Structure 1
Amino acid sequence: MPLGSLRPSPLVEQATEHLREQILGGQWPVGTRLPGETALATSLGVGRSTVREAVRALAEAGLVKSRQGAGVFVISTEPQQDFGARLRRAALAEVYEVRAMLEVQAARLAAHRRTDEDVAVMVAALAARRLASGGDDAAFVDADIALHAAIVAAARNPVLTDLFAEFAPVLREALVDLVDLLALRAADPATGEAAHASLVSAIASGEAEEAAGILDAELSATLTRLRT
Protein backbone atom coordinates (compact mmCIF):
# COMPACT_ATOMS: atom_id res chain seq x y z
CA MET A 1 0.00 0.00 0.00
CA PRO A 2 1.56 3.37 -0.97
CA LEU A 3 2.25 5.71 1.92
CA GLY A 4 1.32 8.86 0.06
CA SER A 5 3.11 12.20 -0.09
CA LEU A 6 3.32 14.64 2.81
CA ARG A 7 2.72 18.32 3.29
CA PRO A 8 5.95 20.33 3.13
CA SER A 9 6.40 21.25 6.82
CA PRO A 10 7.29 20.18 9.45
CA LEU A 11 8.57 17.19 7.53
CA VAL A 12 10.20 15.16 10.28
CA GLU A 13 7.13 15.32 12.54
CA GLN A 14 4.86 14.39 9.66
CA ALA A 15 7.08 11.54 8.51
CA THR A 16 7.31 10.21 12.07
CA GLU A 17 3.56 10.31 12.56
CA HIS A 18 2.91 8.73 9.15
CA LEU A 19 5.28 5.84 9.84
CA ARG A 20 3.91 5.46 13.37
CA GLU A 21 0.38 5.12 11.97
CA GLN A 22 1.55 2.43 9.57
CA ILE A 23 3.14 0.46 12.42
CA LEU A 24 0.23 0.86 14.83
CA GLY A 25 -2.21 0.05 12.06
CA GLY A 26 -0.54 -3.27 11.30
CA GLN A 27 1.09 -2.31 8.01
CA TRP A 28 4.39 -3.57 9.43
CA PRO A 29 3.85 -6.22 12.17
CA VAL A 30 6.37 -6.86 14.93
CA GLY A 31 9.47 -8.49 13.45
CA THR A 32 9.00 -6.88 10.05
CA ARG A 33 11.91 -5.08 8.44
CA LEU A 34 11.06 -1.55 7.33
CA PRO A 35 11.78 -0.56 3.74
CA GLY A 36 15.16 1.10 3.27
CA GLU A 37 15.74 4.83 3.61
CA THR A 38 15.63 5.41 -0.13
CA ALA A 39 12.35 3.55 -0.56
CA LEU A 40 10.73 5.32 2.38
CA ALA A 41 11.99 8.70 1.20
CA THR A 42 10.49 8.10 -2.23
CA SER A 43 7.16 6.92 -0.82
CA LEU A 44 6.91 9.85 1.58
CA GLY A 45 8.23 12.46 -0.83
CA VAL A 46 10.97 13.61 1.54
CA GLY A 47 14.74 13.40 1.79
CA ARG A 48 16.67 10.53 3.32
CA SER A 49 17.79 12.72 6.24
CA THR A 50 14.13 13.34 7.12
CA VAL A 51 13.46 9.61 7.07
CA ARG A 52 16.52 9.03 9.23
CA GLU A 53 15.26 11.48 11.87
CA ALA A 54 11.77 9.98 11.77
CA VAL A 55 13.15 6.47 12.30
CA ARG A 56 15.25 7.75 15.19
CA ALA A 57 12.10 9.18 16.80
CA LEU A 58 10.33 5.86 16.36
CA ALA A 59 13.28 4.09 17.97
CA GLU A 60 13.14 6.46 20.95
CA ALA A 61 9.43 5.62 21.27
CA GLY A 62 10.36 1.92 21.44
CA LEU A 63 8.65 0.99 18.17
CA VAL A 64 11.64 0.06 16.02
CA LYS A 65 15.24 -0.98 16.45
CA SER A 66 18.16 -0.77 14.06
CA ARG A 67 20.24 -3.91 13.59
CA GLN A 68 23.62 -3.24 12.09
CA GLY A 69 23.91 -4.68 8.63
CA ALA A 70 20.34 -5.97 8.65
CA GLY A 71 18.13 -2.87 8.68
CA VAL A 72 15.42 -1.40 10.91
CA PHE A 73 12.89 -3.78 12.43
CA VAL A 74 9.56 -3.23 14.16
CA ILE A 75 9.87 -4.40 17.78
CA SER A 76 6.60 -3.14 19.27
CA THR A 77 3.22 -1.71 18.32
CA GLU A 78 2.78 0.01 21.68
CA PRO A 79 4.76 3.25 21.96
CA GLN A 80 6.53 3.87 25.25
CA GLN A 81 5.45 6.95 27.19
CA ASP A 82 8.03 9.22 28.76
CA PHE A 83 7.69 10.46 32.31
CA GLY A 84 6.19 13.77 31.24
CA ALA A 85 3.48 12.07 29.20
CA ARG A 86 2.57 9.81 32.11
CA LEU A 87 2.34 12.79 34.43
CA ARG A 88 0.06 14.69 32.07
CA ARG A 89 -2.37 11.76 32.07
CA ALA A 90 -2.30 11.31 35.84
CA ALA A 91 -5.19 12.24 38.13
CA LEU A 92 -4.73 15.23 40.40
CA ALA A 93 -4.58 13.07 43.55
CA GLU A 94 -1.92 10.85 41.93
CA VAL A 95 0.21 13.88 41.12
CA TYR A 96 -0.11 15.06 44.70
CA GLU A 97 0.87 11.66 46.11
CA VAL A 98 4.09 11.73 44.10
CA ARG A 99 4.69 15.32 45.11
CA ALA A 100 4.46 14.39 48.78
CA MET A 101 6.92 11.51 48.43
CA LEU A 102 9.43 13.63 46.56
CA GLU A 103 9.25 16.87 48.51
CA VAL A 104 9.05 15.54 52.06
CA GLN A 105 12.35 13.74 51.57
CA ALA A 106 13.77 16.83 49.86
CA ALA A 107 12.89 18.94 52.90
CA ARG A 108 14.59 16.40 55.17
CA LEU A 109 17.76 16.45 53.07
CA ALA A 110 17.69 20.23 52.73
CA ALA A 111 17.76 20.63 56.50
CA HIS A 112 21.00 18.62 56.57
CA ARG A 113 22.66 20.09 53.50
CA ARG A 114 21.47 23.69 53.07
CA THR A 115 24.02 26.46 52.78
CA ASP A 116 23.64 30.08 53.85
CA GLU A 117 23.00 30.93 50.21
CA ASP A 118 20.26 28.28 50.02
CA VAL A 119 18.58 29.75 53.09
CA ALA A 120 18.74 33.24 51.60
CA VAL A 121 17.09 31.98 48.41
CA MET A 122 14.33 30.26 50.39
CA VAL A 123 13.68 33.34 52.52
CA ALA A 124 13.44 35.48 49.38
CA ALA A 125 11.11 32.94 47.74
CA LEU A 126 8.93 32.93 50.86
CA ALA A 127 8.65 36.72 50.69
CA ALA A 128 7.83 36.54 46.98
CA ARG A 129 5.11 33.99 47.73
CA ARG A 130 3.60 36.33 50.33
CA LEU A 131 3.71 39.21 47.87
CA ALA A 132 2.10 37.10 45.14
CA SER A 133 -0.88 36.43 47.40
CA GLY A 134 -2.28 39.74 46.17
CA GLY A 135 -2.32 38.50 42.56
CA ASP A 136 -4.24 35.89 40.63
CA ASP A 137 -4.06 32.14 41.22
CA ALA A 138 -1.51 31.48 38.49
CA ALA A 139 0.93 34.07 39.85
CA PHE A 140 0.52 32.72 43.37
CA VAL A 141 1.09 29.14 42.22
CA ASP A 142 4.23 30.19 40.34
CA ALA A 143 5.59 31.81 43.50
CA ASP A 144 4.67 28.77 45.57
CA ILE A 145 6.45 26.39 43.18
CA ALA A 146 9.51 28.64 43.17
CA LEU A 147 9.72 28.28 46.96
CA HIS A 148 9.39 24.52 46.78
CA ALA A 149 11.97 24.40 43.99
CA ALA A 150 14.37 26.30 46.24
CA ILE A 151 13.83 23.70 48.97
CA VAL A 152 14.47 20.85 46.54
CA ALA A 153 17.62 22.58 45.27
CA ALA A 154 18.86 22.89 48.86
CA ALA A 155 18.71 19.10 49.15
CA ARG A 156 21.82 19.10 46.97
CA ASN A 157 20.84 16.03 44.99
CA PRO A 158 21.06 16.60 41.21
CA VAL A 159 18.79 13.63 40.44
CA LEU A 160 16.12 14.95 42.82
CA THR A 161 16.45 18.42 41.30
CA ASP A 162 16.05 17.02 37.79
CA LEU A 163 13.00 14.99 38.84
CA PHE A 164 11.36 18.07 40.30
CA ALA A 165 12.15 20.07 37.15
CA GLU A 166 10.42 17.38 35.10
CA PHE A 167 7.55 17.31 37.54
CA ALA A 168 7.10 21.09 37.96
CA PRO A 169 5.16 21.94 34.74
CA VAL A 170 2.52 19.28 35.41
CA LEU A 171 2.47 20.21 39.09
CA ARG A 172 1.85 23.86 38.19
CA GLU A 173 -1.14 22.96 36.03
CA ALA A 174 -2.49 20.70 38.76
CA LEU A 175 -2.03 23.36 41.44
CA VAL A 176 -3.84 26.05 39.47
CA ASP A 177 -6.77 23.65 39.11
CA LEU A 178 -6.48 22.64 42.76
CA VAL A 179 -6.59 26.20 44.09
CA ASP A 180 -9.73 26.81 42.09
CA LEU A 181 -11.30 23.43 42.82
CA LEU A 182 -10.90 23.63 46.59
CA ALA A 183 -11.25 27.43 46.81
CA LEU A 184 -8.04 27.39 48.84
CA ARG A 185 -7.50 31.16 48.62
CA ALA A 186 -11.10 32.25 49.13
CA ALA A 187 -10.68 32.99 52.83
CA ASP A 188 -6.89 33.21 52.93
CA PRO A 189 -5.17 34.58 49.79
CA ALA A 190 -1.77 33.53 51.17
CA THR A 191 -2.99 30.05 52.10
CA GLY A 192 -0.39 28.01 53.96
CA GLU A 193 1.71 31.06 54.84
CA ALA A 194 2.37 30.04 58.45
CA ALA A 195 3.24 26.46 57.51
CA HIS A 196 5.62 27.58 54.78
CA ALA A 197 7.32 30.06 57.10
CA SER A 198 7.75 27.31 59.71
CA LEU A 199 9.10 24.98 57.02
CA VAL A 200 11.77 27.43 55.92
CA SER A 201 12.68 28.13 59.55
CA ALA A 202 13.05 24.42 60.33
CA ILE A 203 15.28 23.85 57.30
CA ALA A 204 17.40 26.88 58.18
CA SER A 205 17.79 25.54 61.75
CA GLY A 206 18.75 22.07 60.55
CA GLU A 207 15.65 20.43 62.05
CA ALA A 208 15.22 17.69 59.45
CA GLU A 209 12.36 15.74 60.98
CA GLU A 210 10.47 18.88 61.92
CA ALA A 211 10.79 20.18 58.35
CA ALA A 212 9.66 16.84 56.92
CA GLY A 213 6.75 16.69 59.36
CA ILE A 214 5.53 20.20 58.53
CA LEU A 215 5.55 19.55 54.81
CA ASP A 216 4.04 16.09 55.16
CA ALA A 217 1.17 17.48 57.25
CA GLU A 218 0.54 20.31 54.79
CA LEU A 219 0.51 18.09 51.71
CA SER A 220 -1.42 15.27 53.41
CA ALA A 221 -4.17 17.67 54.46
CA THR A 222 -4.62 18.84 50.88
CA LEU A 223 -4.54 15.28 49.58
CA THR A 224 -7.22 14.26 52.06
CA ARG A 225 -9.44 17.10 50.84
CA LEU A 226 -8.87 15.97 47.27
CA ARG A 227 -9.92 12.42 48.04
CA THR A 228 -13.07 13.45 49.89
Structure 2
Amino acid sequence: MPLDAVRPSSLVEQAMDRLRAQITGGHWPVGTKLPGETTLAKELGVGRSTVREAVRMLASAGLVKARQGAGVFVTATRPVEEWPDRLRRAALADVYEVRTLVEVQAVRLAARRRTEEDRTAMREALAGRRAAAELDDEAFVDADIALHAALVAAAHNPVLTDLFAEFAPVLRRGLVELMALVAPRDEDPNHGDAAHAALVAAVERGEPEEAVRVLEDELAATLARLRARA
Protein backbone atom coordinates (compact mmCIF):
# COMPACT_ATOMS: atom_id res chain seq x y z
CA MET A 1 0.00 0.00 0.00
CA PRO A 2 1.76 3.18 -1.16
CA LEU A 3 1.97 6.27 1.02
CA ASP A 4 0.24 9.40 -0.24
CA ALA A 5 2.19 12.65 -0.27
CA VAL A 6 1.07 15.09 2.41
CA ARG A 7 -0.05 18.69 2.06
CA PRO A 8 2.28 21.57 3.05
CA SER A 9 0.43 22.55 6.23
CA SER A 10 0.94 20.72 9.53
CA LEU A 11 3.52 18.49 7.93
CA VAL A 12 4.62 16.69 11.07
CA GLU A 13 1.07 15.87 12.17
CA GLN A 14 0.10 14.73 8.69
CA ALA A 15 3.21 12.61 8.35
CA MET A 16 2.58 11.08 11.76
CA ASP A 17 -1.05 10.35 10.81
CA ARG A 18 0.02 8.59 7.61
CA LEU A 19 2.60 6.48 9.40
CA ARG A 20 0.21 5.66 12.23
CA ALA A 21 -2.41 4.54 9.71
CA GLN A 22 0.10 2.13 8.21
CA ILE A 23 0.85 0.72 11.67
CA THR A 24 -2.70 0.49 13.02
CA GLY A 25 -3.91 -0.87 9.70
CA GLY A 26 -1.50 -3.79 9.92
CA HIS A 27 0.71 -2.82 6.98
CA TRP A 28 3.68 -2.83 9.35
CA PRO A 29 3.03 -5.54 11.99
CA VAL A 30 4.62 -5.54 15.44
CA GLY A 31 8.32 -6.29 15.12
CA THR A 32 8.59 -4.78 11.66
CA LYS A 33 11.41 -2.36 11.00
CA LEU A 34 10.24 0.92 9.50
CA PRO A 35 11.80 2.10 6.24
CA GLY A 36 14.65 4.56 6.72
CA GLU A 37 14.16 8.30 7.06
CA THR A 38 15.24 8.96 3.48
CA THR A 39 12.76 6.44 2.06
CA LEU A 40 9.89 7.69 4.22
CA ALA A 41 10.68 11.32 3.44
CA LYS A 42 10.59 10.58 -0.29
CA GLU A 43 7.29 8.64 -0.10
CA LEU A 44 5.62 11.26 2.08
CA GLY A 45 7.03 14.21 0.16
CA VAL A 46 8.54 15.86 3.26
CA GLY A 47 11.97 16.49 4.68
CA ARG A 48 13.88 14.04 6.85
CA SER A 49 13.51 16.32 9.88
CA THR A 50 9.72 16.12 9.50
CA VAL A 51 9.88 12.32 9.37
CA ARG A 52 12.16 12.28 12.41
CA GLU A 53 9.69 14.36 14.44
CA ALA A 54 6.73 12.26 13.26
CA VAL A 55 8.51 9.09 14.35
CA ARG A 56 9.26 10.70 17.71
CA MET A 57 5.52 11.35 18.16
CA LEU A 58 4.78 7.73 17.28
CA ALA A 59 7.32 6.63 19.88
CA SER A 60 5.61 8.84 22.50
CA ALA A 61 2.35 7.05 21.66
CA GLY A 62 4.06 3.69 22.26
CA LEU A 63 3.75 2.53 18.65
CA VAL A 64 7.44 2.40 17.72
CA LYS A 65 10.81 2.24 19.42
CA ALA A 66 14.26 3.12 18.13
CA ARG A 67 17.01 0.56 18.63
CA GLN A 68 20.45 2.09 18.48
CA GLY A 69 22.29 0.98 15.39
CA ALA A 70 19.37 -1.13 14.17
CA GLY A 71 16.57 1.28 13.25
CA VAL A 72 13.01 1.98 14.34
CA PHE A 73 10.69 -0.95 14.99
CA VAL A 74 6.93 -1.26 15.47
CA THR A 75 6.15 -2.18 19.08
CA ALA A 76 2.33 -1.91 19.12
CA THR A 77 -0.55 -1.45 16.70
CA ARG A 78 -2.66 0.62 19.11
CA PRO A 79 -1.48 3.85 20.76
CA VAL A 80 -1.04 4.04 24.51
CA GLU A 81 -4.20 5.57 25.94
CA GLU A 82 -3.67 8.75 27.89
CA TRP A 83 -4.65 8.59 31.57
CA PRO A 84 -7.42 11.25 31.38
CA ASP A 85 -8.96 9.45 28.40
CA ARG A 86 -8.85 6.14 30.22
CA LEU A 87 -10.52 7.68 33.26
CA ARG A 88 -13.31 9.12 31.13
CA ARG A 89 -13.94 5.69 29.61
CA ALA A 90 -13.77 3.75 32.88
CA ALA A 91 -16.81 2.56 34.78
CA LEU A 92 -17.58 4.91 37.65
CA ALA A 93 -17.60 2.04 40.17
CA ASP A 94 -14.03 1.16 39.14
CA VAL A 95 -12.96 4.78 39.47
CA TYR A 96 -14.66 4.95 42.85
CA GLU A 97 -12.74 1.93 44.14
CA VAL A 98 -9.46 3.64 43.26
CA ARG A 99 -10.72 6.92 44.67
CA THR A 100 -11.33 5.11 47.96
CA LEU A 101 -7.73 3.88 48.07
CA VAL A 102 -6.41 7.37 47.38
CA GLU A 103 -8.69 9.22 49.76
CA VAL A 104 -8.39 6.79 52.66
CA GLN A 105 -4.63 7.22 52.68
CA ALA A 106 -5.06 10.97 52.25
CA VAL A 107 -7.29 11.41 55.31
CA ARG A 108 -4.99 9.19 57.35
CA LEU A 109 -2.13 11.53 56.53
CA ALA A 110 -4.31 14.62 56.89
CA ALA A 111 -5.16 13.69 60.49
CA ARG A 112 -1.42 13.70 61.24
CA ARG A 113 -0.32 16.67 59.15
CA ARG A 114 -3.21 19.14 59.14
CA THR A 115 -2.35 22.73 59.88
CA GLU A 116 -4.50 25.53 61.21
CA GLU A 117 -4.96 26.71 57.63
CA ASP A 118 -6.18 23.23 56.72
CA ARG A 119 -8.65 23.27 59.61
CA THR A 120 -10.04 26.56 58.34
CA ALA A 121 -10.28 25.27 54.77
CA MET A 122 -12.08 22.10 55.86
CA ARG A 123 -14.56 24.00 58.03
CA GLU A 124 -15.28 26.42 55.20
CA ALA A 125 -15.76 23.56 52.75
CA LEU A 126 -18.12 21.80 55.16
CA ALA A 127 -20.09 25.04 55.51
CA GLY A 128 -20.14 25.32 51.73
CA ARG A 129 -21.56 21.82 51.43
CA ARG A 130 -24.27 22.69 53.93
CA ALA A 131 -25.13 25.88 52.08
CA ALA A 132 -25.35 23.95 48.81
CA ALA A 133 -28.09 21.79 50.31
CA GLU A 134 -30.45 24.59 49.30
CA LEU A 135 -29.25 24.41 45.68
CA ASP A 136 -29.58 21.88 42.87
CA ASP A 137 -27.83 18.51 42.67
CA GLU A 138 -24.94 19.75 40.53
CA ALA A 139 -24.09 22.51 42.99
CA PHE A 140 -24.36 20.06 45.89
CA VAL A 141 -22.02 17.57 44.18
CA ASP A 142 -19.55 20.37 43.46
CA ALA A 143 -19.57 21.38 47.12
CA ASP A 144 -19.18 17.77 48.23
CA ILE A 145 -16.15 17.26 45.98
CA ALA A 146 -14.68 20.56 47.19
CA LEU A 147 -14.86 19.29 50.77
CA HIS A 148 -13.15 16.04 49.88
CA ALA A 149 -10.51 18.00 47.95
CA ALA A 150 -9.82 20.07 51.07
CA LEU A 151 -9.37 16.89 53.09
CA VAL A 152 -6.95 15.47 50.51
CA ALA A 153 -5.03 18.75 50.38
CA ALA A 154 -4.52 18.55 54.16
CA ALA A 155 -2.39 15.44 53.60
CA HIS A 156 0.27 17.71 52.08
CA ASN A 157 1.18 15.12 49.45
CA PRO A 158 1.11 16.70 45.98
CA VAL A 159 0.83 13.31 44.25
CA LEU A 160 -2.35 12.45 46.18
CA THR A 161 -3.70 15.92 45.47
CA ASP A 162 -3.03 15.54 41.73
CA LEU A 163 -4.58 12.05 41.65
CA PHE A 164 -7.75 13.30 43.27
CA ALA A 165 -7.88 16.21 40.84
CA GLU A 166 -7.70 13.73 37.95
CA PHE A 167 -10.63 11.77 39.38
CA ALA A 168 -12.78 14.81 40.16
CA PRO A 169 -14.36 15.42 36.71
CA VAL A 170 -15.31 11.75 36.31
CA LEU A 171 -16.66 11.62 39.86
CA ARG A 172 -18.67 14.77 39.34
CA ARG A 173 -20.37 13.49 36.22
CA GLY A 174 -21.14 10.11 37.75
CA LEU A 175 -22.39 11.49 41.06
CA VAL A 176 -24.70 13.97 39.35
CA GLU A 177 -26.17 11.08 37.36
CA LEU A 178 -26.48 8.98 40.51
CA MET A 179 -28.29 11.79 42.31
CA ALA A 180 -30.81 11.96 39.49
CA LEU A 181 -31.40 8.20 39.61
CA VAL A 182 -31.66 7.47 43.34
CA ALA A 183 -32.62 10.94 44.58
CA PRO A 184 -31.09 10.64 48.07
CA ARG A 185 -31.75 14.34 48.71
CA ASP A 186 -35.52 14.14 48.31
CA GLU A 187 -35.92 13.32 52.00
CA ASP A 188 -32.69 14.93 53.22
CA PRO A 189 -31.39 17.84 51.08
CA ASN A 190 -28.11 17.78 53.07
CA HIS A 191 -27.60 14.07 52.54
CA GLY A 192 -24.52 12.73 54.36
CA ASP A 193 -23.93 15.81 56.50
CA ALA A 194 -23.42 13.89 59.75
CA ALA A 195 -20.79 11.63 58.22
CA HIS A 196 -18.92 14.52 56.64
CA ALA A 197 -19.00 16.52 59.85
CA ALA A 198 -17.65 13.50 61.75
CA LEU A 199 -14.92 13.07 59.16
CA VAL A 200 -13.78 16.67 59.41
CA ALA A 201 -13.88 16.48 63.22
CA ALA A 202 -11.74 13.32 63.28
CA VAL A 203 -9.12 14.92 61.03
CA GLU A 204 -9.14 18.09 63.11
CA ARG A 205 -8.66 16.10 66.33
CA GLY A 206 -5.78 14.16 64.80
CA GLU A 207 -7.50 10.75 64.90
CA PRO A 208 -6.41 9.00 61.68
CA GLU A 209 -8.10 5.65 62.23
CA GLU A 210 -11.41 7.24 63.17
CA ALA A 211 -11.18 9.44 60.08
CA VAL A 212 -10.51 6.36 57.94
CA ARG A 213 -13.45 4.48 59.49
CA VAL A 214 -15.90 7.31 58.83
CA LEU A 215 -14.66 7.83 55.29
CA GLU A 216 -14.70 4.14 54.39
CA ASP A 217 -18.28 3.82 55.62
CA GLU A 218 -19.35 6.88 53.65
CA LEU A 219 -17.63 5.86 50.42
CA ALA A 220 -18.78 2.23 50.75
CA ALA A 221 -22.40 3.37 50.88
CA THR A 222 -22.03 5.34 47.67
CA LEU A 223 -20.14 2.51 45.97
CA ALA A 224 -22.97 0.12 46.88
CA ARG A 225 -25.42 2.45 45.12
CA LEU A 226 -23.18 2.56 42.06
CA ARG A 227 -22.96 -1.23 41.88
CA ALA A 228 -26.71 -1.56 42.34
CA ARG A 229 -27.20 0.79 39.41
CA ALA A 230 -24.88 -1.20 37.11
Q: TM-score, normalised by structure 1?
A: 0.86
CA distance in 1, matches of 2:6, 2:178: 42
User: What residue identity is the alignment partner of 2:212?
Assistant: A
Tell me how far 1:161 sits from its aligned partner.
1.9
Question: What is the total number of aligned residue pairs between the two structures?
Answer: 228
> Aligned partners of 2:158, 2:69: CA distance in 1, in Å?
39
Residue of structure 1 in register with 2:72 after alignment: 72
Number of the residue aligned with 2:161: 161
1:90 has 2:90 as partner: yes
* Residues in 1 aligned to 2:136 and 2:49: alpha-carbon distance in whole angstroms: 47
Aligned residue number for residue 151 of structure 1: 151
Letter paired with 1:74: V
- Structure 2 vs 1, CA of residues 37 and 185 (structure 1 numbering), >3 Å: closer, same or farther? farther
Alignment of 1:117-128 (within 5 A): 117-128=117-128
Instruction: Output the CA distance in 2 between the equivalents of 1:79 and 1:211.
Output: 41
Q: Which moved more, 1:157-166 or 1:193-202?
A: 157-166
* Partner in structure 1 of residue 227 of structure 2: 227
Q: How much has 1:14 moved relative to structure 2?
A: 4.5
5+ residue gaps, structure 2, are none
Match of residue 189 from structure 1: 189
Partner of 2:198: 198
SS of the aligned residue for 2:95 comes to helix
Find the counterpart in structure 2 of residue 174 from structure 1: 174
Q: Percent identity?
A: 68
Against the structure 1 CA distance between its residues 210 and 57, is the aligned structure 2 distance closer, same or farther, given a 3 Å change threshold? same
Residue 112 of structure 1 is matched in structure 2 by 112
Tell me, what secondary structure is at the counterpart of 1:133? helix
Cα displacement (A) at 1:218: 0.8
Instruction: Note if contact 2:109-2:208 (Cα within 8 Å) is conserved in structure 1.
Output: yes
**1:190 & 1:46 partners in 2: Cα distance?**
62
Q: Which runs of 5+ in 1 are unaligned?
A: none
Q: 1:225 to 1:23 in 2, by over 3 A?
A: same
2:3/2:43 contact within 8 Å kept: yes
> C-alpha distance in 2, partners of 1:17/1:142?
39
Residues 28/160 of structure 1: CA separation in 2 closer, same or farther (3 Å cut): same
1:80-133 residue CA offsets vs partner (Å, 9 max, x unmatched): 334333322221211111111211221111111111111111111222222233
Q: 1:40 to 1:148 in 2, by over 3 A?
A: farther
Mapped to 2, the partners of 1:134 and 1:54 lie a distance apart of 53
Paired position in structure 1 for 2:134: 134
Structure 1, 182-191 or 92-101: larger mean CA deviation: 182-191
Q: 1:164 to 1:44 in 2, by over 3 A?
A: farther
Q: What is aligned with 2:23?
A: 23
Q: 1:21, 1:114 → 2: CA distance? A: 52
Compute the displacement of 1:134 (Å). 3.0
Change (3 A) 1:39 1:150: farther
Task: State the AA in 1 paired with 2:194.
Answer: A
Q: What TM-score do you get using the length of structure 2 for normalisation?
A: 0.85
Q: Distance in 1 between matches of 2:42 and 2:145?
A: 49
